[in-house]
Amino acid sequence: MSSGDAPGGQQAPRTERGARTRERLLAAAREVFEERGFLETRVAHITRHAGVAYGSFYTYFPSKEAVFLELADRLFADMTEHPLEPAAGPSPADRVRRANRAYYEGYLRNAKMMAIIEQVATFNGEFQELRRKHRAASTARSAKAIEHWQRAGLVPADLDPELAAGALATMVDHSLYLWLVQGDHADAGRLLDTLDALTVRALGLPT
């Protein structure tokens, strides 16, 4: 993708006004998707909500799927930018707690869209691949932290970093999905404390 391309291979707007219109369409699309769901949303709903002419939509996006794909791409980037990090500073256990809470806060911000994305991913391979790409990138960063802690003698050497990072991420992700999307009635503080404790103990990190 060149620097002039937007996600999905679309050409980025060449003017500031065009960029503002495109962002207005994205903001409107997110609100409409959250209100109507993916299947019930039409391009006309998005343009009406954005106050943009129907035909202008296709200047910026080829389809509602393209809008949804970009929104999902931004959402995943927002949610996965705080994986485990091996940098100096707080203890490894504190870094686990910070990463889990950052992910929780991201999930809370995006819970409505996450519910729709989970639905769309069941029948659209492009969205499945997008989720897999972001998850793999986040898991790889967390695996590097685990490897760092193994070299420091804090995590057992026989633990596979990639598999451990993936399994722990799945535990956190699915627990938050059940709580925030499916309406599980667990107390947020107790749930996060439990996820922290399970992660720290699974890695064998000192508390």
Give the model's pLDDT for residue 181. 86
Beta-carbon contacts of 145 under 8 Å, excluding residues fewer than 6 positions away, are 83, 84, 85, 86, 92, 95
pLDDT of 1 higher than 90: no
From first CA to last CA, the distance across the chain in angstroms is 44
pLDDT in tens, 26-84: 999 999 999 999 999 999 999 999 999 999 999 999 999 999 999 999 998 888 876 67
> How is residue 187 written in tokens?
């107390």
Give the model's pLDDT for residue 121. 86
Give the model's pLDDT for residue 127. 87
> What whole-number distance in Å separates Cα of residue 59 and Cα of residue 54?
10
pLDDT of 4 higher than 70: no
Sign of the CA dihedral 84, 108, 199, 205? positive
pLDDT of 86 higher than 80: no
6 DSSP β-pair partners: 10
| Cβ–Cβ under 8 Å, residues 124 and 66 | no
Give the model's pLDDT for residue 12. 67
| Cβ–Cβ under 8 Å, residues 173 and 104 | no
pLDDT in tens, 93-146: 999 999 999 999 999 889 999 999 888 988 888 888 888 888 898 899 899 999
Give the model's pLDDT for residue 93. 93
Phi, psi angles (nearest 5°) of residue 61: -140, 140
Phi, psi angles (nearest 5°) of residue 204: 75, 25
